[in-house]
Amino acid sequence: MNKQEKVMSHPVVELFEIEPDIIQVKMQDRVHKNAFSKELTRGLIQSFELIQASSSYKVVILTGYDSYFATGGTQEGLLRIQQGITNFTDDNIYSLALDCPIPVIAAMQGHGIGGGFVMGLFADLVVLSRESVYTTNFMKYGFTPGMGATFIVPQKLGLSLAQELLLTASNYRGAELEKRGIPFAVLPRQQVMDHALELARQLAEKPRNSLITLKDHLVAPLRAQISRVVEQEIIMHEKTFHQAEVKDRIAQLYGN
């Protein structure tokens, strides 16, 4: 870990070569607590474009800083969708991990909120922290889930737990999700990155072409369905996002 080489300079996203075969994408928009600001969105897209253009890396570790992994839409971003100015599909960051040709490990050492949690679930391997909060809190704001949440949450967590998360929009600590039997490693926050690195090294032992070929096979059904699901989520947003109550909830929940 001491010989990290910076691959990309960006204000809020660091791209580091941890080892010759392992690349780390670290989100650290401290002003917005890793909400999907324009800066974070651009940084993530640029990072994965660089990774895709490389022919050397075998595995990606996606992580955040301190107690934050990723915290979903900013107030400005949600209001722009509520007003019909944009859609969450305008900048596709939710499936960056799914579309990445090499395996991605989401080291969710910190809170994963809304679209931030969903983005992590699109990774091939996931590690959570016991202390952190994870939630698909879209309905807390009064609009139906987006970011592919209605698809990937049931896929990764099972239908019953996914329905509970999506409908109630409640907060769950990693320790609670562990007790509910989620199929991911759940560790103390300080151990999450070490465990992700251990997993990455196991993957990096394999031939790159074999990793790409197997991932392509494993995620093919997900890639085939995601566009249709996102189209359905956009239709639901047209029915739910533009309510005046949603605008009020966004203002209230952001403290304005």
Q: Coil, strand, or helix at residue 246? A: helix
Query: How is residue 26 written in tokens?
Result: 């670290």
Confirm whether 10 is a catalytic residue. Answer: no
Specify the 3-state DSSP secondary structure of 84: coil
Active-site choice (32, 111, 195, 237) = 237
Q: What is the DSSP letter of 46?
A: H
CA torsion 107→133→13→139, rounded to 10°? Answer: 120
- CA atoms of 169 and 140, how far apart (whole Å): 6
Both tokens assigned to 33:
């607590």
d(CA 83, CA 40): 22
Using DSSP bridges, classify how beta strands 172-173 and 125-129 pair: parallel, antiparallel or unpaired.
Answer: unpaired
- The enclosing H or E element of 39 equals helix 38-53
Whole-angstrom Cα distance, residue 113 to residue 108?
11
- DSSP letter, residue 65: B
Amino acid letter for position 40: L
Residue 161: partners with Cβ closer than 8 Å, 6 or more residues away: 180, 182
Residues 6+ apart with CB under 8 A from 200: 18, 22, 59, 61, 105
Catalytic residues: 237
